[in-house]
Structure 1
Amino acid sequence: MSPVAQRPRTVAYTMSRFPKLTETFILIEMLELERQGLRVEIFPLIRECANVQHADAQAMVERAHYCRLFSRPTLDAQIYWLMRRPAVYVRAWWRAIRGNLSSPKFLSRALVVVPKAAYAARRMVELDVDHLHAHYATHPALFAYVVNMLTGIPYSFTVHAHDLYVERPMLGEKIAAARFVVAISEFNRRMMIDLYGPIAEERVVVVHCGVDPALFRPRERTSRSDIFTIVCVASLAGYKGQRYLIDACARLRDQNVPFRCLLIGEGEDRPRLETQIRDLNLEGHVVLMGALPRHQVSEALQQVDVMALPSVVMPNGKMEGIPIALMEALAAEIPVVATAISGIPELVRDGETGLLVPERNAAALADALMR
């Protein structure tokens, strides 16, 4: 008699938005788990609708479990848990409300997350999910926390950057209830231990994000162009620090350096950066490329001399974790210039794998680019 084939272990994933162009690390993590033989079920909180997305995300989009708040399946799930586990269901609501009372923004989102988690909990039981992993310690981790309360399915979550540095609703409770917690840097792990003590020391492990080496490969050695080409791959947001890179570009121009600077990414700071480029008469040097899928980013890295990412710490504490864009550049053997904040020095060792400069210092950035 032939042995009965074992079913593959099933891991559910949740994140705020999917598919999100800037969160390739989640996509490649799920793809790798499937390559290793696990079954991945995806429960995004919101379906991201964007003009540009990664080609290999489409198959996952088609089978993701999207949930509309005002829908019959979501309503049915509330009734299901209220009938099956009324005390636990009410307790989940109470903890979510109590834990987010200090922030109107987080409270309003918790009122959406709990019913969606109730829907997902019922589906995960039907799908025989073995484990649930959430990316980000805010709303996705709350989602996992509620699913765990309702079903007992163990969960874990990855802590990245803003979800630790800015606001941390219920983070201690989420850590205590999790099977384990992933920090993307030693910097993040140390911060959580300082904040939450022995339970964080016991539960938090460091797993650095990765890149696809088949896509981000060492660039081919070709004859060098006379135009020094800088690239910055990042969303156009204040904490990414592109304004200081543009100021540094003005310094390079004033020193008669023949260069061009490509800003790959999109975001709310585009109008301000366009004005800055125009005011400094840099239209012929600095180009806003917009958002690009990762295969086009890989192609762009083959044509440049250096990656610059002048990240900064914002007044509210918002900052980088460890930028994947720097990892992709280093995988392509591109020299990098970055700022010495958060977990970046764990990746970029000054003078060895790149150059580190103080944040908000255009002069130091220009000097490092010249070097």
Structure 2
Amino acid sequence: MQRRKIVVVLKGYPRLSETFIAQELLGLERAGFELILVALRRPTDAKRHPVHDEIKAPVHYLPEYLHDEPLRVLRSLLANLPRPSFWRALGSLAADIRRDFSRNRARRFGQALVLAAEWPEEAGWLHAHFVHTPASVTRYASQLRRLPWSCSAHAKDIWTSPDWDLASKLSSARWTVTCTKTGFDRLTKLANGSSSVHLSYHGLDLHRFGSFGEARKQHDGSAPAEPVIILSVGRAVEKKGYDTLLEALALLPGDLAWHFEHIGGGEELKRLKALAQKLGLDGRVSWKGALAQEEVLEHYRSADIFALACRITADGDRDGLPNVLVEAASQRLACVSTDISGVPELLSSDETGLLVSSENPIALAQALERLIRDPVLRARLGDAAEQRVRSKFDHVAGIGQLKELFEREWRAAE
């Protein structure tokens, strides 16, 4: 069967924090699909992961703000005006504007006009990554070009979008996949139980995250010269709960020898560094900044514990199943996290990791102390976590599921 070109709409590309998306794009290419990437934003990260260099798809950038490229937007509007489909798409915008009167909504329609006017030759399908702004652009563009579309929904986009917006997109898309059971349940309810919503874990490229065969250190926090290394990887943003994690570290007994390492950028880094100083953690915390994937892998292998204090923010934002937890578990690293969203789908407390309630630095400190003092427990949990990852979270299964979804629709259309 002839493969069709798929236009994949992304919020930004490439992004260090979205390796799961890059991995999926590469998997689809290797499965025989021809992709064209369209991003709403240009990259802001100075580094790239190796996977980004392996993806062959060309990348096109839409105007992030319409006033930045007014002539491009005007040309696109004039190109779309003669199409009868323009008025249908404009009707959708009008309906949306009545519920969400914002410049952002108009901007997404303008970006869709540019995408529709500069449409890649022979492309016959649109796929959005994230069901909020990228899906808005994709939905309008699908109406303008009279082409089918599908969507991958993840975390923040599911939980911070209004019900009416999600429901309209779910009814318009041919199918939608999401990566956690909690997200799947929410979307299925909004889609009135439709079978067009599918659960599809991202998984890992287990060739890239091969088994770590070396014996881990048996440090137990009793020797100041041999501190237990606690690692966390993630953007310094509110939903990651790094303030809670720092508070938990400050509660650890003074006789324990440990050191905390954080990998990642983010808008809250300055505030978190000040908090660490206020809590008296100077000399016990290292801020590594954003690192490429191969450097992160080395840190997984040299650390003793992985910690992530995920939370639900006031606006509903939260992680799905953080990919860094799956990565850490793949390296036999004992993990402690919170029992929200999709985390319990990977970590079962006292079986494949330790789980505590969110916003609870005392419980988190107790779990960390337990892991610091007990290298045998760390080894048991790390071994079990790796077995779960390698049996349940291989990205090959997810790519196969996406391939079948695309091809099933195309077979039906033919």
After TM superposition, list the pairs within 5 Å mapping 1:142-161 onto structure 2.
142-161=136-155
Look up the match of 1:139.
133
**How many residues are paired up?**
358
What CA distance in whole angstroms lies between the structure 1 residues aligned with 2:99 and 2:147?
28
Alignment equivalent of 1:95, drawn from 72, 92, 95 = 92
Check 1:359–1:288 CA distance in 2 against 1; reply closer, same or farther (3 A cut).
same
The percent identity for this pair of structures is: 28
What CA distance in whole angstroms lies between the structure 2 residues aligned with 1:360 and 1:244?
6
1:61–1:274: structure 2 CA closer, same or farther, 3 Å change rule?
farther
Query: Is 1:185 aligned with 2:180?
Result: yes
Letter in 2 for 1:218: S
* Alpha-carbon offset, residue 61 of structure 1: 9.1
Matched residue, 1:235: 235
- Would you say the 8 A contact 1:159–1:183 is kept in 2? yes
Alignment of 1:36-185 (within 5 A): 36-58=31-53, 63-68=58-63, 69=66, 70=69, 72-85=71-84, 88-103=85-100, 107-124=102-119, 126-168=120-162, 170-185=165-180
Aligned to 1:3: none
CA distance in 2, matches of 1:330, 1:348: 9
**Structure 1: distance between partners of 2:56 and 2:70:** 20
- TM-score where L is the length of structure 2: 0.81
Residues 40 and 61 in structure 2, CA contact (< 8 A), matched pair in contact too? yes
Residue in structure 1 matched with residue 402 of structure 2 by the alignment: none
SS of 2:306's equivalent in the other structure is strand
Q: Is the 2:13–2:43 contact (alpha carbons within 8 Å) kept by the matching residues of 1?
A: yes
Q: Distance in 1 between matches of 2:86 and 2:195?
A: 28
The answer to whether the aligner puts 1:210 opposite 2:207 as a matched pair is no
Aligned residues of 1:219 and 1:301 also touching (Cα < 8 A)? no
Give the aligned residue type for 1:188: G
Question: SS where residue 60 of structure 2 aligns?
Answer: coil
Report the counterpart of residue 382 of structure 2 in structure 1: none
Looking at structure 1, the residues matched to 54 and 110 of structure 2 have their Cα atoms a distance apart, in angstroms, of: 26
Equivalents in 2 of 1:109, 1:294: separation in Å? Answer: 33
Q: How many Å apart are 1:345 and its aligned residue?
A: 0.9
- CA distance, structure 1, for counterparts of residue 23 and residue 70 of structure 2: 31
Deviations 1:106-139 (A, max 9, x none): x312222212212222444x42123211011111
Alpha-carbon distance between aligned partners in 1 of 2:170 and 2:118, rounded to the nearest angstrom = 24
Corresponding letter in the other structure for 2:61: Y
Q: Separation in 1 of the partners of 2:73 and 2:50?
A: 30
Unaligned runs of 5+ in 1: 1-5
Could you tell me which residue of structure 1 aligns to residue 14 of structure 2?
19
Q: Residue in 2 aligned with 1:261?
A: 260
Q: State whether residues 134 and 157 of structure 1, in contact with CA within 8 Å, keep that contact through their aligned partners in structure 2.
A: yes
Contact 2:35 2:57 in 1 (8 A): no
The CA RMSD measured in Å over matched residues stands at 2.0
Alpha-carbon shift at residue 276 of structure 1 (Å): 1.2
Which residue matches 1:316?
315
Q: For 1:186 and 1:211, how far apart are their aligned partners in 2?
A: 18
Cα deviation 1:30-78 (Å, max 9, x = unaligned): 0111111111100111112322222432575982111334254443332
TM-score relative to the length of structure 1:
0.90
Please give the secondary structure, in 2, of the residue aligned with 1:232.
strand
